[in-house]
Structure 1
Amino acid sequence: MVLLFWPFMLASIIFSFVALSKKKPLFLVISFLLIIPFSLYLAATPLFRWWGLILPLFYLGAALSLRKHMRWLSALLILPIIILIGWLGYVVITQ
Structure 2
Amino acid sequence: MFNNRFDRLASVLDAAQSEMFGEPLIIGGISVTGIQDQYPGELGEAATLITVWQVLTAELPSGFSRGMAVQYQGRDYTVSRIHPADGNSTPFEVE
- TM-score when normalising by structure 2: 0.28
Larger Rg: 2
- TM-score when normalising by structure 1: 0.28
Instruction: Considering fraction of residues, name the structure with more helix.
Output: 1
Instruction: Considering fraction of residues, name the structure with more strand.
Output: 2
